[in-house]
Amino acid sequence: MNTVIQNILVFITLGFALWFLWKKYFFKKKTKKACGTDDCGCH
């Protein structure tokens, strides 16, 4: 029983880590371009 709980906790943590990275890198809102010149630093 104890090992089952421990394993469940491991998978929850793993899921959390994966979700965090996924959210961080793949679900970024598109940012709007706020300037037009070449050297404004936002390209």
Partner 1 sequence: MSKQINIALIGNPNTGKTSVFNALTGLNQKVGNYPGITVEKKEGICKLPRGVKAHIIDLPGTYSLNASSLDENVVIELLLNKNDKDFPDVAVVVSDVENLKRNLLLFTQIKDLEIPAILVINMADRMKYKGISLDIDFLEQELKTKIAVVSTRKKEGIDNLKHLISNYKDISTAPCLNASEIDKDYFDKLRKAFPNQLLYKLWLVITQDVNFGKTDRNEIEAIASFKTKSKSDLKRLQQKETIKRYQFINNTLKKGQTIDVSQAKDLRTKFDRILTHKVWGYLIFFLILLTIFQAIYDWSTVPMDFIDGVFANLSDWVKNTLPAGAFTNLLAEGIISGLGGIVIFIPQIAFLFLFIAILEESGYMSRVVFLMDRIMRRFGLSGKSIVPLISGTACAIPAIMATRNIESWKERLITILVTPFTTCSARLPVYLIIIALVIPEGRFLGLSYQALTLMLLYLLGFGTAVVSAYILNKILKIKSKTFFVVEMPNYKLPLFKNVALTVLEKTKSFVFGAGKIILAISIILWFLASYGPGEQFNNAENIVKTEFASQNLDQEELNQKIASHKLEHSFIGIAGHAIEPVIRPLGYDWKIGIAIVSSFAAREVFVGTLATIYSVGNDDEDTIKNRMAGEVNPILGGPLFNFASGISLLLFYAFAMQCMSTLAIVKKETNSWKWPILQLVIMTAIAYITALIAFQFLK
Is the separation of the CB atoms in 29 and 22 below 8 Å? no
What is the C-alpha to C-alpha distance for residues 15 and 7, in angstroms, rounded to an integer?
Answer: 12
Near partner 1 in 1-30, by CB under 8 A: 2-3, 5-7, 9-10, 13-14, 17-18, 20-21, 24-25, 29
Nearer to partner 1, 24 or 27 (CB): 24
Token representation of residue 14: 């793993």
Report how far apart the first and last C-alpha atoms of the chain are (Å, whole number). 54
User: Least Å distance between CB 28 and partner 1?
Assistant: 9
Q: Which residues bind partner 1 (CB under 8 A)?
A: 2-3, 5-7, 9-10, 13-14, 17-18, 20-21, 24-25, 29, 31-32, 34-43
